């Protein structure tokens, strides 16, 4: 069976999609969270063509942009592909964005048409007002009587015969990924069809996922990892995707779907591990193969061909745990600016603590200061409307400066130390990685949900700690003193594995939960270090004042 990535004539994602539709026919393409088949590949192709016709009737043309403010649902995939069939550039916006943030994205993208759903509509309409009506058409996928264009009307609103199917060229923009960034306004990462198809070729060769498989889509499609894993790869390979509109439901959905391919940032893998160890001891798992088989079944991983983590550093203990129960979890490393991919652990040579060697389309070297530099077919076309920032990111020789400090072993496997700008340099001039220290804290106890280490230009390190709600509840009715003592035991355990200069001397327990896309975390759960330091400045100063008293 061939799909578009096998064909030398493939120039665009539209080509890829149409070839997969032809190859997969009546096989399930998109499924709802209750596992009913929303669309076969044939039906997906028909709806995408109709969406293309409707969008074209609204004035969407090659080079235009289409904004998508949608949860993970079948209509997202159809609308996105519909725009690609016209030769336009679809892009996603985070569902948690404020009207002001949405207005910035709409303006930067020059977006005149957007697709959304009823629950997100008020914010998009508010954004339209802020932009002075730049959005000419808003399409709503749910029913309603507000006078806006509804999804069924879009699908019947054009003459399908007039659609310029598979318009475009390899160097046209396939999407814009707006970085969630820890500081400053988001940058629009422009990815071409050539970028995405090169990524698809690399991942297909390294994953080995069959068209008959299934995956779950639950992360925001505004993030490069989800867009590449369960949209672009899905379009090229032809496996089925189960749409999970509420990310919090994914752990319950896993045993029902039993995916063949599953990607998640480390936090979910950490929670799954903690849940297992709350029921079965590590000793039982080590001594009983049947216990491992039962655990894989309970998690929904008994059919899993590819288990992947990325988007943030994964503690080695988490990877080692899943390996111990027969789930060969491996890491991928990349940026939005590199189509989400630079290096990838090989299935037959997983080295815990590394993110593998570079993928075939990329080459990697280290700068004089240890910064990871990457060059190749996956490097973006540049930031939208930001030529100066693009020139700062990509040098004259084509090397993209990742901002990450790394190390290469003798076989070219890459280890990421930390973000260049996030390394702690203490008052004595010692360099250390806060991410490494935080990983030790979180792996020491399931009670610790989040930790942020502070120590730059300070005499010692302190930590802000947020407790895991479920683990804290499992302690029962305990005093604040007992709860703190439990955390202190975890800090002591973590400190035992750290160099003296890295150890946590004091910590503060915060009562406020840190949620994705909040003051403290990006949508993919990365720490916003500067905003955290500003928001909790008083608590941080108290920790250092205690040390001086």
Measure the CA–CA gap between 266 and 309, rounded to whole angstroms. 6
Taking CA atoms, 22 is separated from 3, 26, 139, 165, 504, in Å, by 8, 9, 28, 14, 58
Query: Residue 7: its pLDDT value, please?
Result: 39
Which is it for strands 261-264 and 240-243: parallel, antiparallel or unpaired?
unpaired
Which stretches within 228-339 are classed as H helix? Answer: 233-237, 250-257, 266-277, 282-287, 289-299, 316-324
Is residue 5 pLDDT above 70, yes or no?
no
| pLDDT band of 547, cuts 50, 70, 90 | low
DSSP conformational letter for 230: I
In the chain the domains, ranked by start, together with CATH numbers, are 4-211 (3.40.50.980), 232-417 (3.40.50.12780), 423-548 (3.30.300.30)
Nearest CA to 540 among 482, 467, 480, 465?
Answer: 465
Give me 421's structure tokens. 């700008």
Measure the CA–CA gap between 230 and 77, rounded to whole angstroms. 10
Is residue 162 pLDDT above 90, yes or no?
no
Give me 244's structure tokens. 């999970």
Q: Between 402 and 476, where is the model more confident?
A: 402
| pLDDT band of 421, cuts 50, 70, 90 | confident
Nearest CA to 532 among 515, 513, 519?
Answer: 519
Average confidence (pLDDT) over 15-37:
95
Is residue 377 pLDDT above 70, yes or no?
yes
Q: What is the CA radius of gyration of the chain?
A: 24
Three-state SS at 72: coil
Query: Residue 166: its pLDDT value, please?
Result: 53
Nearest CA to 416 among 520, 346, 319, 343?
Answer: 343
Average confidence (pLDDT) over 91-115:
95
Average confidence (pLDDT) over 396-410:
94
Is residue 474 pLDDT above 90, yes or no?
no
Which stretches within 419-466 are classed as H helix? Answer: 434-444
Measure the CA–CA gap between 438 and 520, rounded to whole angstroms. 15
Give me 486's structure tokens. 């439990």
Q: What is the pLDDT of residues 496-540, one digit of tens each?
A: 988 888 999 999 999 888 988 788 988 777 888 889 999 999 999
> Any idea which of 64-78, 227-241, 282-296, 472-486 has the lowest mean pLDDT?
472-486
Is residue 549 pLDDT above 80, yes or no?
no
DSSP conformational letter for 166: T
**Angle, CA 73 vertex, CA 202 and CA 301 arms, to 5°:** 60
Query: How many Cα atoms are found within 13 Å in the side-chain-facing hemisphere of 342?
Result: 30
Q: Between 476 and 103, where is the model more confident?
A: 103
| pLDDT band of 1, cuts 50, 70, 90 | very low
| pLDDT band of 425, cuts 50, 70, 90 | confident
3-class secondary structure per residue, 109-160: HCCCEEEECHHHHHHHHHHHHHCCCCCCEEEECCCCCCCCEEHHHHHCCCCH
Residue 429: exposure state from Cβ atoms within 10 A (0-12, 13-18, ≥19) = exposed
Backbone angles phi, psi at 547, to 5 degrees: -70, -25
Contact criterion met (CB below 8 Å) for 547 and 506: yes
Query: Residue 281: its pLDDT value, please?
Result: 86
Contact criterion met (CB below 8 Å) for 3 and 211: yes
Nearest CA to 114 among 77, 143, 132, 139?
Answer: 139
Q: What is the pLDDT of residues 263-318, one digit of tens each?
A: 998 889 988 998 898 888 888 888 889 999 999 999 999 999 999 998 878 888 89
The model carries a pTM of: 0.84
Q: What is the pLDDT of residues 180-223, one digit of tens each?
A: 655 567 899 999 999 999 999 999 889 877 899 999 999 999 99
Contact criterion met (CB below 8 Å) for 317 and 443: yes
Backbone angles phi, psi at 114, to 5 degrees: -140, 155
Chain position carrying tokens 């539709």: 21
């Amino acid at each position: 069976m061939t799909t578009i990535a096998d064909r030398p004539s493939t120039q665009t994602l539209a080509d890829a999609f149409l070839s997969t539709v032809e190859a997969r026919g009546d096989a399930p393409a998109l499924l709802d969270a209750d596992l009913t088949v929303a669309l076969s590949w044939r039906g997906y192709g028909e709806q995408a063509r109709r969406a293309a016709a409707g969008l074209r009737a609204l004035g969407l043309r090659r080079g235009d942009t289409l904004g998508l403010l949608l949860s993970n649902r079948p209509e997202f995939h159809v609308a996105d592909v519909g725009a690609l069939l016209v030769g336009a550039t679809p892009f996603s916006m985070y569902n948690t964005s404020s009207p002001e943030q949405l207005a910035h994205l709409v303006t930067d993208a020059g977006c005149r048409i957007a697709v959304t759903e009823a629950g997100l509509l008020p914010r998009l309409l508010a954004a339209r007002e802020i932009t002075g009506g730049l959005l000419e058409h808003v399409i709503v996928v749910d029913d309603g009587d507000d006078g806006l264009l509804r999804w069924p009307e879009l699908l019947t609103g054009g003459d399908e015969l007039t659609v310029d199917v598979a318009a475009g060229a390899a160097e046209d923009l396939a999407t814009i990924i707006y970085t969630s960034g820890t500081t400053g306004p988001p940058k629009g990462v422009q990815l071409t069809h050539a970028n995405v198809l090169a990524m698809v070729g690399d991942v297909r060769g390294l994953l080995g996922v069959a068209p008959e498989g299934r995956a779950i889509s639950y992360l925001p499609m505004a993030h490069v990892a989800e867009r590449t894993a369960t949209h672009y790869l899905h379009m090229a390979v032809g496996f089925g995707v189960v749409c999970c509109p509420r990310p919090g439901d994914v752990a319950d959905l896993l045993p029902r779907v039993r995916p063949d391919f599953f990607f998640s940032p480390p936090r979910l893998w950490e929670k799954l591990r903690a849940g297992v160890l709350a029921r079965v001891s590590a000793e039982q798992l080590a001594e009983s193969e049947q216990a491992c088989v039962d655990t894989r079944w309970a998690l929904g991983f008994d059919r899993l061909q590819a288990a992947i983590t990325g988007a943030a550093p994964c503690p080695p203990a988490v990877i080692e745990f899943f390996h111990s129960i027969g789930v060969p979890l491996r890491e991928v490393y990349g940026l939005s600016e590199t189509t989400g991919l630079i290096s990838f652990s090989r299935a037959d040579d997983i080295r815990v603590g590394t993110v593998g060697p570079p993928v075939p389309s990329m080459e990697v070297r280290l700068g004089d200061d240890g910064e990871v530099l990457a060059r190749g077919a996956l490097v973006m076309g540049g930031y939208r409307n930001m030529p100066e920032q693009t020139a700062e990111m990509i040098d004259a020789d084509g090397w993209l400066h990742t901002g990450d400090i790394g190390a290469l072993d003798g076989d070219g496997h890459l280890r990421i130390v930390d973000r260049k700008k996030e390394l702690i340099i203490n008052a004595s001039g010692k360099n250390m990685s806060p991410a490494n220290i935080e990983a030790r804290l979180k792996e020491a106890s399931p009670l610790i949900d989040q930790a942020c280490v502070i120590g730059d230009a300070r005499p010692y390190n302190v930590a802000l700690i947020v407790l895991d709600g479920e683990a804290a509840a499992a302690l029962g009715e305990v005093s604040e003193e007992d709860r703190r003592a439990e955390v202190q035991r975890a800090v002591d355990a973590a400190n035992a594995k750290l160099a003296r200069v890295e150890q946590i001397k004091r910590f503060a327990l915060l009562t406020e939960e840190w949620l994705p896309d909040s003051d403290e975390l990006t949508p993919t759960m990365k720490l916003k270090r500067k905003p955290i330091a500003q928001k909790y400045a008083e608590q941080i100063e108290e920790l250092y004042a205690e040390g001086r008293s």
